Structure 1
Amino acid sequence: MRVKWPVAGVPAEMLQNMLATGRLAHSYLFLGPEGSGMKETAVHFAKGILCEQELPERPCGTCINCRRVDSGNHPDLVFLEPDGQTIKIQQIREVQKSFSLKALEASRKVYIVTHAELMTPEAANALLKFLEEPSTPVVAILLANRKSGLMPTVVSRCQIIPFQRISPALIQAALQAEGMPAAKAKLLSYLKESIDSARKFSEYEKFAEIVNLVVQLSEEAASTRGNPLFLIQDKIHKPGWTSEDVESFLDCLAWWYRDLLNAKLDNIDRIVFESQASRIQTQAASYRSEDLVQMVEIVLSTKKRLQSHANQQLALEHMVLQLQGE
């Protein structure tokens, strides 16, 4: 039985047809905005390429290669992400070096380059050479939000797969069809970019903990009670949250302050944290609209700083002080 794609639509149909026929290009460029499900689709496509199942039923989702991709430890699947603000030439060289060896588990190797538009010119030239002269059977999957940041020669070597952002309404409807309560489905549809990632986050052991921390932190930041700096230390730093956990927390916090702004503007139907609507309206009353706009920007700016490898503890503490107006 064929495994469902994380994001249905034209890109999935195109890629599934390539897997079914075995007619694969050497390189692909997934082009679209944040929230279009490109990364989840790239991983699923890579799983199909590495799958042990016979054509056309790839990926099967059950063979050892599929399970290794799902667990994130397949030796023939490599992710290349920005180191700070850019992807550097040394990162490309490291991938080239590792791929100069024969594939360990499958007949091909796959590498996925996220935010490919952030490659330095030197890195892009090194990648171009790798695309033209791979030392082993390799499939490259480049993900980019905009074509303008890529070298035309790199783009010309790739088969372009266009993506569009998935609407939260579609994600919410799919989650509710699986039996998820409407309020929870709505929240997840805004937090995550695809049905699959929303479903996985809902099942994640820290999901409730992250949401509870958002509520508690916002309460303490809005009043003189409690100590939000201690809260960050006690709930995030001491337990040793991963960078992904912190990023999810910041995404939730940004939506919380957007909800406060919508409540302030009487756009109650736009509130994402529906189960907390009463609390949100109460908090919103203590802020000006311009304060809330700035608070959303503070949280998103903190997320960007952490993605650029800023010190996590210092960045979060600075964020809390800014949210308190200090």
Structure 2
Amino acid sequence: MTEAWNEIADIQPTIMGMLKNGMLKNRVAHAYLFEGEKGVGKREASIIFAKSLLCEQQIDGYLPCENCKNCKRINSGNHPDVHLIEPDGLSIKKEQIKSLQEEFSKKSVEANRKIYMIFNADKMSVQAANSLLKFLEEPSSDTVAILVTEQIQRILPTILSRCQVLSFKPLSPAVLKEKLINQGVNIQDSSIIPHLTHNFEEGIRISNEEWFAQAQKIVVKLYEVLNQNPMKALLYLQEEWFVHFKEREQMDRSLDLLFLIYKDLLYIQLDKRELAVFQNKTGEFETHALHLSQRRLADCMGYILEAKRKLLSNTNPQLLMEQLVLNLQEGSSFV
């Protein structure tokens, strides 16, 4: 019964702690703004908070029982006192807010509160935002508003000032890795992806890309070519690298992957092998790590970060990669 709440509390302990304390102390705000990037639990927290507020058999004064009539109706999306608003097309329109206001002028049907949630609140039209503002200025004692957004900077300051703003943190790499593994993503991808995104949904999408699977192989192969036959590295760029990494965004991802290889070497040197992401290459990397000073390793990582910076400043990607390879070649051959 408490699993859903605890699952969100594991990844957003501060947020869920504040909501819990508000309920226990009977200090529930009339309006909340849940803000943070996609995939960090904002929608899930909104739903479970609504269930907590309306639950007929709360556990410990704040946990929804999941079995009462109110919990079940919220789960099925048809509770008459819980209203969800999402963009109609590209925006949330004034008519949607007006309809909400009319609905909330009536007494609660089944519960002691009425709750409305506005998802993608940053997509309200100017007219809709102004209508909502009037609604927020004269809050009813039995009404709770939950606005949800990924773009807090697009919310009117006057609306922000009338909400309790709760900022959801990005998922930690460890939490995201565990969630990916639980979804059946293999160990290596689950280790690498959290270093590329904090977003669970994007992580799943990346794990399903054949392009990403091939990208890993090509990046590892470049590293191996650099170490086995540095003179062939420039040729490898032409034959394999530029064929696969065509767009600037793809090139940026390739540099992220290359950086993770050198980071693995550093973890091996520091005897923290469990933190390495290319677990299937640990044996090979251990041999390489023995031949590199930490100073040289730091230089290589610096070259890659500098290449990423130059990529953003519209440096020619081909020239950039050729220069990077020349920088990484220095003292890189172990044969």
Measure the CA separation in 2 of the matches of 1:117 and 1:267. 44
* 1:100 corresponds to: 105
How far is 1:102 from its partner? 1.8
Alignment CA distance shift 1:168-1:72 (3 Å): farther
Task: Indicate yes or no: 2:218 matched with 1:264.
Answer: yes
Aligned-residue sequence identity (percent) comes to: 36
Please give the secondary structure, in 2, of the residue aligned with 1:111: strand
Gaps of 5+ in 2: 223-239, 251-335
Please give the secondary structure, in 1, of the residue aligned with 2:8: coil
* 2:114 corresponds to: 109
How far is 1:285 from its partner? 9.0
Preserved CA contact (<8 Å) 2:52 2:64: yes
Please give the secondary structure, in 1, of the residue aligned with 2:214: helix
* 2:66 corresponds to: 61
Measure the CA separation in 1 of the matches of 2:185 and 2:87. 37
**Offset from partner CA, 1:260-288 (integer Å, 9 cap, x none):** 333333399xxxxxxxxxxxxxxx99952
Measure the CA separation in 2 of the matches of 1:13 and 1:68. 25
Task: Indicate yes or no: 2:44 matched with 1:40.
Answer: yes
For residues 23-172 of structure 1, what are the structure 2 equivalents within 5 Å?
Answer: 23-54=27-58, 56-134=61-139, 137-172=142-177
Alignment CA distance shift 1:78-1:253 (3 Å): farther
How far is 1:60 from its partner? 1.8
Q: CA RMSD in A?
A: 3.8
**Offset from partner CA, 1:49-71 (integer Å, 9 cap, x none):** 11112561431222121122222
**Offset from partner CA, 1:119-151 (integer Å, 9 cap, x none):** 111111100111122467211001122332111
* 1:203 corresponds to: none
Preserved CA contact (<8 Å) 2:189 2:207: no
**Offset from partner CA, 1:158-179 (integer Å, 9 cap, x none):** 0111111113531433676x89
Measure the CA separation in 2 of the matches of 1:105 and 1:287. 62
Please give the secondary structure, in 1, of the residue aligned with 2:29: coil
Q: Which has the larger radius of gyration?
A: 2
The residue type paired with residue 25 of structure 1 is A
The residue type paired with residue 10 of structure 1 is T
Measure the CA separation in 2 of the matches of 1:108 and 1:40. 19
Alignment CA distance shift 1:262-1:66 (3 Å): same
Measure the CA separation in 2 of the matches of 1:47 and 1:293. 41
Alignment CA distance shift 1:56-1:120 (3 Å): same
Measure the CA separation in 1 of the matches of 2:27 and 2:221. 50
Please give the secondary structure, in 1, of the residue aligned with 2:70: helix
Alignment CA distance shift 1:150-1:179 (3 Å): closer
Alignment CA distance shift 1:13-1:185 (3 Å): farther
**Offset from partner CA, 1:232-286 (integer Å, 9 cap, x none):** xxxxxxxxxxxxxxx999x468744344333333399xxxxxxxxxxxxxxx999
Preserved CA contact (<8 Å) 2:87 2:123: yes
* 1:288 corresponds to: 244
The residue type paired with residue 89 of structure 1 is K
* 2:237 corresponds to: none
Preserved CA contact (<8 Å) 1:85 1:118: yes
Measure the CA separation in 2 of the matches of 1:110 and 1:267. 55
Measure the CA separation in 2 of the matches of 1:248 and 1:262. 15
Preserved CA contact (<8 Å) 1:168 1:186: no
Alignment CA distance shift 1:185-1:133 (3 Å): farther
How far is 1:33 from its partner? 1.3
Preserved CA contact (<8 Å) 1:100 1:135: no
Measure the CA separation in 2 of the matches of 1:248 and 1:94. 37
Measure the CA separation in 2 of the matches of 1:83 and 1:254. 30
Please give the secondary structure, in 1, of the residue aligned with 2:165: strand
How far is 1:38 from its partner? 0.9
What is the TM-score with the length of structure 1 in the denominator?
0.58
Count of aligned positions: 227
The residue type paired with residue 190 of structure 2 is K
Gaps of 5+ in 1: 199-246, 269-283, 295-326
Please give the secondary structure, in 1, of the residue aligned with 2:91: coil
For residues 4-23 of structure 1, what are the structure 2 equivalents within 5 Å?
Answer: 4-8=5-9, 9-23=13-27
Measure the CA separation in 2 of the matches of 1:184 and 1:17. 39
Measure the CA separation in 1 of the matches of 2:180 and 2:24. 28
Please give the secondary structure, in 2, of the residue aligned with 1:166: coil
